[in-house]
Structure 1
Amino acid sequence: MSLLEVKEVYHSYQPKRFLIRKGQSNRVLNDISLSIEQGTCLGLLGASGAGKSTLGKVILGIQRPQQGQVLFQGHDIYQTDKHTQRKLRRDLQVVFQDSYSSFNPRMTAEHIIREPLDNYEKLSVSETKRTVIWLLEKVGLSEGDLKKYPYQFSGGQLQRINIARAIALKPKLIVLDESVSSLDMVTQTLILELLRDLKDDFGLSYLFITHDIKAAFYISNKLAVLEKGALIAHYESKDQFFKSNHPAVKQMRNAMLAEHPRDRSVTKKTNVE
């Protein structure tokens, strides 16, 4: 049994009545099926507007699909009882793109990271503090950052705090929704290295949602491509992705920039190691 199974998910948004004729809708997801195994990362690639974030919300239980099922650890997250939902929510965490809006600006790093511990664990004050310090150090920060507020951190540091909060309960699956796209290239690489190390250390599984092929290649075991709400391709390896003749995949490859500006052109294909 897969850790996560998405089965024939369909979802659309009803537009404003005065904009579109009655009966029409904006289809966002169309017959989406995919799975993620324990300890693996599925890279979900697609351009802006492809439906990636909506699919992430469906998987997280935030956006109920109009049709289809989302099975996490064998349970339909939209059909199970509240007690089971709470247990599943513990094992399913998220790191969003905008780290700044993910936090209450009046909360310190300590309170941000301890929030899931307070909700799910019965630890003493001293045990909670030790755990928070350990989590900070695990993501490359230190005890000296405990009392700092979000405005005192860089974007990369805030994303590390976001990740520390996400792993606090040792979840089974983390949805990473464009979690490095707002960072500079150096910080992106550092965060991707951190995510890969944490995946190995904790046996985590990831759904890595991104438009960045290089980032997806760095961390993913398998790749899937979403276009206009449809899952158009699924690849068991990076080599399969680069050998694919699917027009949309070829277009994505051709749009990749070379490492040096002098080598860049709109039609030139580049390789990613």
Structure 2
Amino acid sequence: MSLLQVKQVHHSFYTKKQLFKANSHSNHVLNDISFTIEEGTCLGLIGTSGAGKSTLGKVILGIQRPKQGQVLFQGYDIYNAGSSDQQKIRRDLQVVFQDSYSSVNPRMTAERIISEPLENYEKLTKGEQRRRVIGLLEKVGLSEGDLEKYPHQFSGGQLQRINIARAIALKPKLIVLDESVSSLDMVTQSMILQLLRELKDDFGLSYLFITHDIKAAFSISDVIGVLEQGELIELYDSKDQFFSSKHPAVIRLRNSVLAEHPRFRSIPSRVKGYNT
């Protein structure tokens, strides 16, 4: 049995202007999405802004019920599971969002932030809990000296490490990474991706890596999925498959990637508002 099964998920919403119109039409955000994630693997989900990536992430996390379809996690339907099963799902399914600062309480220390899931699910003494938190800090490249610091005392990359430490505190099965490195500079992004790869191996984690960054996706993912206007276009098991695909959406994504060195980047001869 697959760790996560997404089956024919559809989702749509009405805009405020449409709510009170008799002939209003819904905006389709997700259309017939189906895929699986196996234990110990990472599915990279890439697409442009507005493709439906984050909405799909929320559906999988149980935050936004889809209009149609099923999301099965470890065999449990996350929208129809009983209370005890829901508790197990919440423990084994964690998330790291893009904005590291809005993901934490600014009045809480790093120790309190990482301790939250432990307090909710584990029966530990204060000493045991503190030792666990120190171990988690060290696991993500921080130290005991960071325990009493507040979010504003960390850089964006350091605070994202705090969020990752919190996400792995309960040793979950699956972590949804929703644009979790996109707001970081390239050097910090590279270090966080390396950390995520190491944690995946050490803990046997599975990831859903949601991103618009093709290079980041390929650096961590076992399988790549392309989302375009709410539809899952194709799944690719290798770079060769992706870069040889003839699908227009995939070609557009490939063309959007800049060469690493500026001298190899092509610049159009005419740009709107500027003539060369």
The verdict on a shared fold, with TM-score over 0.5 as the criterion, is yes
Q: Which amino acid letter does the alignment assign opposite residue 167 of structure 2?
A: A
- Give the Cα separation in 1 of the matches to 2:217 and 2:171: 23
Structure 2 runs not aligned, ≥5 long: 269-276
Q: Is the 8 A contact 1:14 1:26 kept in 2?
A: yes
Name the counterpart of 1:241: 242
- What SS does the aligned partner of 2:32 have? strand
Aligned position for 2:257: 256
Asked if 2 retains the 8 angstrom alpha-carbon contact of 1:222 and 1:238, the reply is no
Aligned residue in 1 for 2:10: 10
CA-to-aligned-CA distance 1:40-59 (integer Å, 9 cap, x gap): 00000000000000000000
Q: How many angstroms does 1:23 deviate by?
A: 3.0
Q: How does 1:186-197 map to 2 (within 5 A)?
A: 186-197=187-198
Instruction: State the alpha-carbon separation in 1 of the partners of residues 235 and 2 from structure 2.
Output: 16
Structure 1 residues 73-114: Cα deviation after superposition (integer angstroms, max 9, x where no partner): 001000110110011110000000000000100000000000
> Secondary structure of the residue that 2:152 maps to in structure 1?
helix
- 1:68 corresponding residue in structure 2: 69
Runs of 4+ in 1 over 4 A off after TM superposition: 18-21
- The residue number in structure 2 matching 1:203 is 204
Corresponding residue for 2:185?
184
Q: Deviation of residue 197 (structure 1)? A: 0.3
160-169 or 227-236: bigger deviation: 227-236
State the Cα distance separating 1:263 from its structure 2 match.
Answer: 1.1
RMSD: 1.2
Q: Distance in 2 between matches of 1:23 and 1:106?
A: 44
In 1, Cα distance between equivalents of 2:266 and 2:66: 40
- 1:17 to partner: Cα distance: 3.2
* In 1, Cα distance between equivalents of 2:204 and 2:239: 21
Amino acid at match of 2:101: Y
- For the 8 Å contact 1:255–1:266, the answer to whether it is kept is no
* Structure 1 Cα separation of the partners of residues 166 and 27 of structure 2: 35
CA contact (8 A) 1:97 1:182 kept: yes
SS at match of 2:141: coil
Give the superposition deviation at 1:266. 5.2
In the alignment, structure 1 segments of 5+ residues that lack a partner are 268-273
Alignment match, 1:27: 28
Q: How is 1:144-183 mapped onto 2 (pairs within 5 angstroms)? A: 144-183=145-184
Aligned residue for 2:104? 103
